[in-house]
DNA sequence: CGAATAGTTCGACAATAATCGAACCATTAT
DNA sequence: ATAATGGTTCGATTATTGTCGAACTATTCG
């Protein structure tokens, strides 16, 4: 059962995080994870081919936003809330609050 | 004395703002403007050719982060603090605080 | 075992974005 | 008028990203 690599919190880069969240689809994934956690990739897929979904989860993982744990067949994703909070206090919450004000992720199924 | 176009606050898009700030050089410009405002482009140039600097200021303007006002020969830049705050409360401050924790813009001169 | 499910990896292609020189424009100073 | 300063625009080049099909891997179920 091979697992993923995740950067340690000390290695998080603000610009990488901002870049990861600057894509509407990735932002929508993070929004949905914020509501229900953990979740496998499938319900967050929304029409895209699996290879694209996989790519975007990779970007989120490398930025440190998402942790993925393999449990049987499912790859369960969660936000790295606590680590993000300790490294960049308030950042994720503020961005999620801003995203909630903003209609831009509606179509990002 | 031709001026610039700036999007109204209602048109700000979160993903566009995050993208604009995901570049280390642009983030460093915003950090410096946060300290001293307004400023012309020249002192924020840092080795880059003028055409690149102009490009990055454009990205910042289109995202709604920066307002540029022509005053004589100088193009004076300020952050659109109040408008950003009203549209996405806390966003800019939180990102600037995070940037201060992060050593990534040192080399972005 | 064989088939189904969930996701990854690879490689190609398309779209976006960054970089930079050269020519240009506007304002001020000489 | 001419020149200097501060910045833009254009166009070409390169680099980074996103998209997607096809083949593959791992786990579970019948």
**Domains in chain B: boundaries:** 11-101
The phi and psi torsions of B49 (rounded to 5 degrees) equal -65, 155
The phi and psi torsions of B79 (rounded to 5 degrees) equal -80, 150
Of B13, B18, B94, the CB nearest to A21: B18
| Choice among B36-40, B53-57, B101-105 with the minimum mean pLDDT | B101-105
Closest C-alpha among B73, B91, B71 to residue B81: B91
Residues of chain B contacting residue A91, judged by C-beta atoms under 8 Å apart = 94-95, 98
Looking at CA atoms only, how far is residue B17 from chain A in angstroms?
8
Confidence of residue A84 (pLDDT cuts 50, 70, 90): very high
Q: Where are the alpha helices (DSSP H) in B47-90?
A: 50-63, 81-87
Confidence of residue B102 (pLDDT cuts 50, 70, 90): confident
Tell me what pLDDT residue B2 has: 77
Query: Contact A91/B90, CB-based, under 8 Å?
Result: no
Query: What are the helix and strand counts (H, E) for chain A?
Result: 5, 2
B36 to A27, A94, B4, B20, B40: CA distances (angstroms): 32, 24, 21, 20, 11
Residues of chain A contacting residue B99, judged by C-beta atoms under 8 Å apart = 14
**Record: fold of B11-101:** Arc Repressor Mutant, subunit A (1.10.10)
Tell me what pLDDT residue A31 has: 98
Contact of A66 with chain B, judged by CB distance below 8 Å, is answered with no
Tell me what pLDDT residue B1 has: 61
A-chain residue closest to B9, CA distance: A102
Confidence of residue A53 (pLDDT cuts 50, 70, 90): very high
Tell me the CATH number for domain A11-98: 1.10.10.10
A-chain residue closest to B17, CA distance: A22
Tell me what pLDDT residue B106 has: 54
Q: Where are the alpha helices (DSSP H) in chain A?
A: 14-21, 24-35, 50-63, 81-87, 91-101
Contact of A84 with chain B, judged by CB distance below 8 Å, is answered with no
Distance between CA atoms of B22 and A19, rounded to whole angstroms? 5
């Amino acid at each position: 059962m091979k697992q993923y690599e995740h950067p340690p919190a000390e290695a998080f880069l603000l610009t990488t995080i901002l870049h990861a969240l600057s894509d509407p689809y990735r932002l929508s994934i993070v929004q949905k994870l914020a509501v229900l956690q953990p979740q496998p990739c499938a319900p967050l897929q929304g029409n895209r081919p699996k290879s694209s979904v996989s790519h975007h989860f990779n970007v989120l993982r490398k930025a440190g936003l998402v942790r993925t744990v393999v449990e049987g067949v499912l790859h369960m994703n969660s936000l790295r809330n606590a680590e993000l909070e300790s490294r960049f206090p308030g950042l994720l919450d503020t961005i999620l609050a801003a995203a909630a004000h903003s209609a831009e992720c509606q179509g990002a199924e």
